[in-house]
Amino acid sequence: MDGPEEVYKRGDMIVKVKEPLASEFELIRAGQTIFTYFHFASSPELTNAMVKSKANCIAYETVARLDESLPLLVPMSEIAGRMATQCGAKYLEKPMGGRGVLLGGVPGVAKGNVLILGGGIVGTEAAKMAAGLGANVTLLDVDLNRLRFLDTVMPANVTTRFSSPSAIEELLPHADLVIGAVLITGARAPLLVKRQHLKTMKPGSVLVDVAVDQGGCIETCKPTTHDAPTFVVDDVLHYCVANMPGAVPYTSTMALGNATLPYALQLANQGWVDAAINNAEIRNGLNIIDGVVVHPAVNADYPIYPYEDVDAFLSRKKQPDFNIQGMAKPMTTTKQSYA
Ligand SMILES: NC(=O)c1ccc[n+]([C@@H]2O[C@H](COP(=O)([O-])OP(=O)(O)OC[C@H]3O[C@@H](n4cnc5c(N)ncnc54)[C@H](O)[C@@H]3O)[C@@H](O)[C@H]2O)c1
């Protein structure tokens, strides 16, 4: 197929990576299923366009398991975590603006110190990479069970600490590289490194705030892009790219494809109505369908658009006699055609 116009014209279901661009809004048709990241909270224009389009918008970021884990966000966190150490090591080099430290050291020369705030997916992957380079790694979290797990599985050059303002103040002056990797689901990232802390850090040390997409956990962080990824505040180099996996699109696309494929196949084979009824993870991904918001978080951000509970909406779409909880109601009328 040649170009986006033809793809959108011919495809009943479009599987993407990033949110539709403004240039794609006009191409999206009523009844077409779009399976991709949407992040509606950050774009009123996209939300308005998708409501108007009457397309079926199924968002990767809200596909959720029963344990509330988000399987289609994990690959991006894994990539960003590994990249955080790789980028941090690069920007510690003198020509890149850093203090000229090799994280692993060499025989007879001390290793670099890496401080990681948050031991979730990003923090764990960052710690594994930093440990592999031979650095001294300190990994902080507020979840004791998580710390117990990390303490068991991490190599000997990774130390776990309970995260607190005093622990962070104690560790910052020794750090060559600090990686911000905290998340409080649904909330802005907590500010763990304040502006006044920078003066206690070594000149030329590097801060990588991966949590920048949730507001950042470092007060002086502001979102940057791959074109101009860094800036300096108080002699400390900041790297705050909001879409880190975008720098490694080959790996990112393969990793995301591995995670999305089973859902995409179910959607393609069963159609979005049956797929959503049969699979609660897909049902959690329904955001805007046929001009109606069906996800409570999107409704909370955009109460101006029509909203309907997803189960009620699906029951109506399927047939008036169908009870989404899994019980087909006794048929009392002639079978309705599916929408
Ligand atoms: N910039 C990018 O390109 C990019 C890519 C992927 C993910 N991210 C972001 O990275 C962040 C981390 O994502 P994740 O998937 O690792 O989340 P996660 O939920 O797996 O881990 C977050 C961890 O932070 C811990 N935490 C919460 N408060 C803390 C505190 N005060 N001190 C220390 N730890 C604390 C939690 O206990 C949890 O273990 C998120 O904001 C995510 O959006 C950014």
Report, as residue numbers or ranges, the catalytic residues. 39, 213
DSSP β-ladder status, 177-180 and 158-162 = unpaired
**Do 3-54+250-318 and 74-247 show the same overall fold?**
yes
pLDDT at 186: 63
pLDDT at 318: 80
CB 205 within 8 A of CB 233: no
- Distance, in Å, from the CA atom of 66 to the CA atom of 281, rounded to the nearest integer, reads 8
Domain ranges of the chain: 3-54+250-318, 74-247
CA of 153 to the centre of ligand 1 (A): 19
pLDDT at 105: 97
For ligand 1, whether the C-beta of 171 sits within 6 Å is: no
| 3-54+250-318: CATH topology | Rossmann fold (3.40.50)
- Distance, in Å, from the CA atom of 118 to the CA atom of 186, rounded to the nearest integer, reads 16
pLDDT at 247: 97
Kindly report the backbone phi and psi dihedral angles of residue 161, in degrees, each rounded to the nearest multiple of 5, phi listed first: -140, 145
CA of 221 to the centre of ligand 1 (A): 15
- CATH number for the domain formed by residue range(s) 74-247: 3.40.50.720
Which residues of the chain have a pLDDT value below 50?
325-339
Alpha helix locations (H) across 92-120? Answer: none
For ligand 1, whether the C-beta of 50 sits within 6 Å is: no
CA of 211 to the centre of ligand 1 (A): 6
End-to-end CA distance of the chain: 29
Sequence letter at residue 159: T
66 three-state secondary structure: coil
